[in-house]
């Protein structure tokens, strides 16, 4: 029976979905060490699901002849050696977009809390101090929101903000489709000059480290707000603290930090702690029950459709192909080292056996070639042996 192993308390929906697909699913609430993982993988595991703790290293993959795919039930894949997976013909998937809505909602909530000074008033009240006042308390309606990085999250923040009556301006280094009435700025300076609220949603490109420093905070409008839920390296928090203390900026919300504690309860240190009208959250922008459920559905889908059809769309390491389910045909999936001439070897083996090819695709990346050949129902088992014997073959799979 085909086995799936799901580690680290992956949302229960994933096991339900994979069982419905006919997998024998084993779930474990914790991560496994390298050796324990290697031992498990030796036992005919076909699909492996992890979150961010299990290290899927080359060593852990040393003997896993049945393993076809690894799913990271999270956003990043830093803990999975995707090149080692490639070398063994193992496809890797993750869920890069499944928590975008969660981040966007947090940002919208924070903008309202910051504009109204809710956090400080609530903190005072918890300490028994009544602070009823409309001073520095503003509505979101009519304010200008400046979005730096108009990708999956930035553009959703824009749509939600516009629905609440904000005027949306954005800056992105790439050409983007403006949603609703959002307007594009030609430079980051332009968006900084225009907006009452700046929210940052850039990716983790190395050049984005230090994107916001003293000069950028200085360029913002007086009493503007700054929010960052993208990457900790993007903003210089000492410079931000300076501009908050001087009153130049009226508030900030920060979810990501240059140095984040490794585990709950560990001490957190930041120049922003203790400042007025500053919301600090422990990197929870994307952490919601809904996001976990969406991740479970998305990654399980990717794993099972790779298993069933060979589809690698949105794989993080394989060349990407979108493949339909076939009727009355077989599908040969040939994964090989990407050197010239493999395709012609495949074709001459099939031609010499007189096999009818109904469809053929080849996609490559820097390391591997992924050749998909749909053939008629009749074939000789010797063909598979011949294809496997091509010296560059990493793995051969027959479907349907």
Residue of minimal Cβ distance to ligand NAI? 151
Catalytic residue among 39, 139, 223, 260: 260
- Least distance from C-beta 400 to ligand NAI, angstroms? 35
CA distance 190 to 204: 22
93 makes contact with ligand NAI (CB under 6 A):
no
**47-55, 200-208, 314-322, 343-351 -> range binding ligand NAI (CB under 6 A):** 200-208
Per-residue HEC secondary structure of 166-207 comes to: CEEEEECCCCCCCCCCCEECCCHHHHHHHCCEEEECCCCCHH
Q: Is 383 left (phi over 0), alpha (psi -120 to 50) or beta?
A: alpha
- Per DSSP, the three-state class of 293 is helix
Sign of the dihedral through C-alpha 24, 39, 294, 397: negative
Please identify, using beta-carbon distances, which residue of 231 and 334 lies nearer to ligand NAI.
Answer: 231
CB of 279 to ligand NAI, least distance (A): 13
Residues 144, 231, 243, 331: which is the catalytic one? 231
- The span of 45-53, 86-94, 201-209, 267-275 binding ligand NAI (CB under 6 A) equals 201-209
How many binding residues for ligand NAI (CB under 6 A)? 31
Out of 158, 286, 310, 369, which residue is the one contacting ligand NAI (CB under 6 A)?
A: 286
**255 near ligand NAI (CB under 6 A):** yes
Torsion, CA 347, CA 353, CA 358, CA 363, rounded to 10: -20
Q: Residue-wise over 117-139: b if at least 16 C-beta within 10 A, else e?
A: bbbbbeeeeeeeeeeeeeeeebe
Annotated active-site residue 392? The verdict is no
Taking CB under 6 A as the criterion, the residue among 285, 310, 319, 369 binding ligand NAI is 285
Which residues, numbered 12-41, are part of the site for ligand NAI (CB under 6 A)?
A: none
From candidates 39, 203, 214, 260, binder to ligand NAI by CB under 6 A: 203
H/E stretch holding 226 reads: strand 224-228
Please tell me whether residue 8 binds ligand NAI under the rule CB under 6 A: no
- Binding map of ligand NAI across residues 101-140, x = CB under 6 A, - = no contact: --x-------------------------------------
Choose between 201 and 302: whose C-beta lies nearer to ligand NAI: 201
**Angle in degrees, CA 127, 130, 135, rounded to 5:** 120
Of 214-233, binders to ligand NAI (CB under 6 A) are 229-231
Q: What is the 3-state secondary structure (H, E, C) of 343-378?
A: HHHHHHHHHHCCCCEEEEEEEECCCEEEEEEEECCC
Question: In this chain, which stretch among 99-107, 179-187, 308-316, 369-377 interacts with ligand NAI, using CB under 6 A?
Answer: 99-107
Q: How far apart are CA 150 and CA 42, in angstroms?
A: 44
Between CA 54 and CA 61 the distance in angstroms is 12
- Residue 71 region, left (φ>0) first, then alpha (ψ -120 to 50), else beta? beta
Q: State the catalytic residue, choosing from 42, 184, 283, 395.
A: 283
CB of 207 to ligand NAI, least distance (A): 7
Which residue lies nearer to ligand NAI by CB, 126 or 262? Answer: 262
Told to judge if 260 belongs to the known catalytic residues of this protein, a careful annotator would answer yes
What is the footprint of ligand NAI within residues 146-175 (CB under 6 A)? 148-154, 171-174
Positions 62 through 81 that interact with ligand NAI (CB under 6 A): 75
Contacting ligand NAI (CB under 6 A), which of 94, 208, 304, 312?
A: 208
Confirm whether 62 is a catalytic residue.
Answer: no
**By three-state DSSP, how is residue 118 classified?**
helix
* Beta-ladder partners of 395: 335
The stretch near ligand NAI (CB under 6 A) out of 278-286, 334-342, 376-384, 388-396 is 278-286
Q: Is 202 in the site for ligand NAI (CB under 6 A)?
A: yes
Q: Is 269 exposed, middle or buried (0-12, 13-18, 19+ CB in 10 A)?
A: exposed
The Cα 299–Cα 302 span in angstroms is 5
Q: How far apart are CA 203 and CA 231, in angstroms?
A: 7
DSSP 240: H
Residues that bind ligand NAI (CB under 6 A): 75, 99-100, 103, 148-154, 171-174, 188, 201-205, 208, 211, 229-231, 255-256, 283, 285-286
Catalytic residue ranges: 231, 260, 283
């Amino acid at each position: 029976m085909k086995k799936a192993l799901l580690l680290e308390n992956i949302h229960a929906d994933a096991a339900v979905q994979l069982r419905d697909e006919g997998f024998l699913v084993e779930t474990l609430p914790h991560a496994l060490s390298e050796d324990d993982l290697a031992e498990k993988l030796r036992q005919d595991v076909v699909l492996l699901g992890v979150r961010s703790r299990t290290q899927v290293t080359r060593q852990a993959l040393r003997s896993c002849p049945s393993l076809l795919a690894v799913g990271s039930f999270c956003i990043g894949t830093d803990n999975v050696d995707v090149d080692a997976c490639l070398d063994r013909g193992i496809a890797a998937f993750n869920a890069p977009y499944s928590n975008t809505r969660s981040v966007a909602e947090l940002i919208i909530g924070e903008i309202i809390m910051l504009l109204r000074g809710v956090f400080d008033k609530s903190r005072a009240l918890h300490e028994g101090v009544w602070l009823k006042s409309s001073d520095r308390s503003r509505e979101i309606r009519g304010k200008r929101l400046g979005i730096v990085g108009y990708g999956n999250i930035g553009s959703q923040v824009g749509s939600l903000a516009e629905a609440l009556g904000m005027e949306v301006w954005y800056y992105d280094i790439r050409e983007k489709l403006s949603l609703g009435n959002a307007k594009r700025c030609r430079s980051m300076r332009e968006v900084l000059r225009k907006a009452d609220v700046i929210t940052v949603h850039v990716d983790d490109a190395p050049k984005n480290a230090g994107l916001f420093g003293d000069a950028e905070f200085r360029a913002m409008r007086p009493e503007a707000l700054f929010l960052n839920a993208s990457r900790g390296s993007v903003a210089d928090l000492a410079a931000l603290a300076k501009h908050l203390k001087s009153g130049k900026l009226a508030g900030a919300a920060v979810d990501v930090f240059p140095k984040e504690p490794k585990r709950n309860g560990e001490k957190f240190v930041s120049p922003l702690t203790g400042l007025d009208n500053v919301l600090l959250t422990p990197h929870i922008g994307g952490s919601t029950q809904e996001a976990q459920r969406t991740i479970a559905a998305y990654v399980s889908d990717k794993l099972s459709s790779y298993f069933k059809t060979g589809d690698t769309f949105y794989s993080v390491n394989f060349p990407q192909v979108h493949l339909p389910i076939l009727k009355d045909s077989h599908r040969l999936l040939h994964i090989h080292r990407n050197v010239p001439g493999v395709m012609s070897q495949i074709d001459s083996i099939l031609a010499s056996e007189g096999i009818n090819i109904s469809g053929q695709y080849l996609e490559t990346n820097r390391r591997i070639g992924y050749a998909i050949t749909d053939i008629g129902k009749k074939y000789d088992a010797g063909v598979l042996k011949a294809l496997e014997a091509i010296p560059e073959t990493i793995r051969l799979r027959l479907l349907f």
